[in-house]
Chain A
């Protein structure tokens, strides 16, 4: 009976078919690309256990693709305008009204807008990770200088694209961001009336032009420049990891379903603005802008908002021309990898400070001293730690036969980061999902007892909670399975052949895959059900879960492939 069932439900075969399809498609595309102007480009399937940071660039591009796709659909209903009725009763008709319409009256409009927003956040986060990893690995060195410089340009353009994007909503927050941008462009004139004021680049004739210009920049100009830079930035061999791409898409879609992006309040000229903090990737700049304190004539908008960021970006661009030693591994290099630790610590500090006490000016003496202090401490600590371990081990920790405990820990993070990243993220999603669910239920219950919510609404809300809760809870066994694999790899003695020699037992893998397949079926049913009842956010959560589970099972299948084909890769 048991054997028959296993034969009937041969999950392994399904995934091996998928694997064959993926490989043959990649092969097909590679051969055909040879006839195009992209002849050098080659897609490669990564070896089964390799570092996911290696293809963080591809994940950034995947988010970019999602953005282009959803953005294209958003343009169909977005109206870039800012018009007034000259009567008091008529009010303003602005781009905000069209965003409002996309959000609340177009079918699935809120879902598409939410995906667009979360894909932007994921893209910027992935780009930061990509930058940090490739910096630490010394990938900017000869002969990668041009790739590095275009990468820095791409990063700057990405931030600009995000900035123009969230200003298009024309809510109060967007107007504040726009006015900061205008002030920055005009601030050069503070130094001499003879210098040009560049605010007309954004403004034109006023607020009527701002919205059309931001639309043009966001839709055509900046993406076109980004595509041009991408064309140069793309390496010859692109690592195409299906499961991590599905994982990225799943995270974007689940985030869009669980945390739909708010609309904000409509901006009407003449009404006072309340201070709001910009998005997390710009809150650091916001903190810098508030750092004038009692020395506003020294730390002007130009110095804090233009000069300091420009110096930082220029330094990053200049790195390959300053650090010319050819050694790439972080344990063979001093100074530059530690410099990144300092820069990252300062960035995190400035970013957090941007969120604290908005609209209150920051004292420049304390602010700049603490930036320097935090940056320098991170630099010194990493510098000292690294020197200590390299000296203690004699050679680099990765090559030592009997490394110390911290070294083994670092090595484990390095080698098994994928296995860790995957279950930990799912665990995080599960915990966050369950907490949300519990909080939601408690709140609804409270609302019902107080009399805020009718019993019909209570039933509806509980129904929603189950619809969101089940998919997130179902991801939990997936996470447990993946953690079990990781622990298993730690308990079993490691074979002596290279890092990539770990193989998951075929039977174990098949069992895990069967469980995941069953979860996938439940999630599929939930997707269908949420489409039928027309709940767009439930559909997003379920579809995202489906992507993650499917991608995870495919990854486990690849882990359990025989070693022979692994060595061929």
Chain B
């Protein structure tokens, strides 16, 4: 009885804390279709797992210009957001926790306590079907490292 009294909560909490490791290499996941986003639109999606702990956001900056970032602040991991006032100026944020802001174009820090640029999600777009796939998450960014937008590969046929 005593052993079960200790083990049952321990098993519960340990399995609550356990998370599957990320698959390697990361899977190719369909996010959306070109026809569903106009220029200037955004889309929140989950990558590399459908698990919503990994939030990412896709921007259509121009007709053929796309970029996607992991959508968590690199300072302390707070969920980022877009404000209607800030996004047209080209910024993600301010972060609700400490006010960090990031540039939409390359994910670098515009302002605030965050030091590293946002991790990037690389994309692949089918030219005929128009399907958009996420293919890789370039994570663990270095402090003050150079930011970059997504590498977008246009594929003729899948």
Contact of A87 among B36, B52, B53, B79 (CB under 8 A): B36
Contact A524–B1 (Cβ < 8 Å): yes
Q: Give me the interface of B with A, judged by CB distance under 8 Å.
A: 1, 4-5, 8, 11-13, 15-18, 32, 36-38, 40-45, 51-53, 55, 57, 71, 79-83, 96-97
Q: Are A83 and B82 in contact (CB under 8 A)?
A: yes
Q: A82-B81, A90-B43, A524-B4 are in contact. Are A105 and B37 (CB under 8 A)?
A: no
Main secondary structure of the interface of B (DSSP, over half): mixed
Q: Is A83 touching B44 in the complex (CB atoms < 8 A)? A: yes
Q: Is the beta-carbon distance between B79 and A81 smaller than 8 angstroms?
A: yes
State whether A79 and B52 are in contact (beta carbons under 8 Å apart), knowing that A87-B41, A524-B1, A531-B11 are contacts in the complex.
Answer: yes
B5→A93 contact, CB < 8 A: no
User: Which of A79, A90, A205 touches B79 (beta carbons < 8 Å)?
Assistant: A79
The answer, among B1, B15, B55, for a CB contact under 8 Å with A107, is B15
What are 5 A-B contacts with C-beta separation under 8 Å? A85-B43, A93-B52, A93-B55, A107-B18, A521-B1
Report B106 CB to chain A, min CB distance, Å: 20
Of A108-116, A124-132, A146-154, A561-569, which binds chain B? Answer: A108-116
Q: Which 3 A-B pairs have the closest CB atoms?
A: A81-B79, A90-B43, A107-B15
- Contact of A86 with B42 in the complex, beta carbons under 8 Å: yes
- By size class, the interface of chain A is 35 or more
* 112-147 of chain A: CB within 8 A of chain B: 112
A108 with B12: CB separation less than 8 A: yes
Residue of B nearest to A106 (CB): B16
Q: Are A87 and B37 in contact (CB under 8 A)?
A: yes
Please tell me if the beta carbons of A85 and B42 are within 8 angstroms of each other in the complex: yes
Asked whether A528 is an interface residue with its Cβ less than 8 Å from the other chain, the reply is yes
Contact with B along A545-567 (1 / 0, CB 8 A): 01000100000000000000000
For A93, the chain B residues whose CB sits under 8 A away are 44, 52, 55
> Contacts A90-B32, A524-B1, A546-B1; is A85 near B44 (CB within 8 Å)?
yes
Asked if A337 CB lies within 8 Å of chain B CBs, one says no
Q: Point out the residues of chain B lying under 8 angstroms from A109, CB to CB.
A: 16
A106 contact set on B, CB distance < 8 A: 16
**Inside 8 A of B96's CB, which chain A residues have their CB?**
80-81, 208-209, 212
Q: What is the number of contacts between chain A and chain B, taking CB atoms within 8 Å?
A: 97
Check B16–A105 contact: CB distance below 8 A.
no
Contacts of B52 in A (CB 8 A): 79, 93, 97-98, 101
Residues of A that sit less than 8 Å from B by CB: 73, 76-77, 79-90, 93, 97-98, 101, 105-109, 111-112, 205, 208-209, 212, 520-521, 524, 527-528, 531, 536, 539, 543, 546, 550
Contact B81 A76 (CB under 8 A): no
- Asked if B1 and A77 sit within 8 Å, CB to CB, the answer is no
Q: Once bound together, how far apart are the Cα atoms of A83 and B89, in whole Å?
A: 18
- Shortest CB–CB separation between residue A530 and chain B, in angstroms? 9
Which residue on A lies nearest to B38, using beta carbons? A87
- Contacts A80-B79, A531-B11: A101 and B1 contacting too (C-beta < 8 A)? no
Quick check: A539 and B8 within 8 Å, CB to CB?
A: yes
CB distance from A204 to the nearest CB of B (A): 9
Give the nearest-CB partner of A109 in chain B: B16
Q: Are B16 and A73 in contact, CB atoms less than 8 angstroms apart?
A: yes
**Assembly CA distance A81 to B53 (angstroms):** 12
In-complex Cβ contact of B12 among A86, A105, A111, A212 (8 A): A111
Pairwise interchain contact B16-A112, C-beta atoms closer than 8 A: yes
- Chain A hits for B42, CB < 8 A: 85-87, 90
Q: Please, which residues of chain B bring their CB within 8 A of the CB of A108?
A: 12-13, 15-16
Inter-chain contacts of B18 with A (CB < 8 A): 107
In the assembled complex, which residues on chain A have CB atoms less than 8 Å from the CB atom of B1? 520-521, 524, 546, 550
A520 to B71, CA, bound (A): 49
Q: Which of B16, B42, B43, B71 has the most CB of A within 10 A?
A: B16
